[in-house]
Amino acid sequence: EAGVAQSPRYKIIEKRQSVAFWCNPISGHATLYWYQQILGQGPKLLIQFQNNGVVDDSQLPKDRFSAERLKGVDSTLKIQPAKLEDSAVYLCASSSGPGLERYNEQFFGPGTRLTVL
């Protein structure tokens, strides 16, 4: 079974530039998550999709971050314009469904490491 795919793996940009990350979840997984992991901290949920609808974006800085999941499969996360404090690893995860039941394990991709200069 193929895992969660993310690209690019690394990205370096100047502040005020824009950047986009792509995620391809495990086939058939209805729930998709984007996390931000700042150095020295645990991952923080930015947004959660159920199919192509948003169920939680309470911690997404909506003035600069946006995300979409067209057709309920792939997803993109965009930052525009980027700030220095956006330097982090952005992790995508997917699960077969929402909730924390035993069968809904979240599988994580390798992440995209963003450096904002």
Partner 1 sequence: AQSVTQPDIHITVSEGASLELRCNYSYGATPYLFWYVQSPGQGLQLLLKYFSGDTLVQGIKGFEAEFKRSQSSFNLRKPSVHWSDAAEYFCAVGRATDSWGKFQFGAGTQVVVTP
In this structure, what is the dihedral angle of CA atoms 16, 61, 113, 115, given to the nearest 10 degrees? 30
Q: What are phi and psi of 100, to 5 degrees?
A: -110, 20
* Closest residue by Cα to residue 72 from 90, 55, 89: 55
- Member of 11, 88, 95, 116 binding partner 1 (CB under 8 A): 95
Q: How far is the CB of 109 from partner 1 (least distance, A)?
A: 5
Nearest to 94 by CA among 30, 2, 43, 20: 30
Q: How far apart are CA 110 and CA 90, in angstroms?
A: 9
Query: Looking at beta carbons only, is 8 or 99 nearer to partner 1?
Result: 99
Closest to partner 1 by CB, 14 or 41: 41
Stretch that binds partner 1, among 11-19, 21-29, 44-52, 72-80 (CB under 8 A): 44-52
Q: Among residues 13, 20, 26, 45, which is the contact residue for partner 1, using CB under 8 A?
A: 45
Residue ranges binding partner 1 (CB under 8 A): 3-4, 31, 40-45, 48, 50, 55-56, 91, 93, 95, 98-102, 104-111
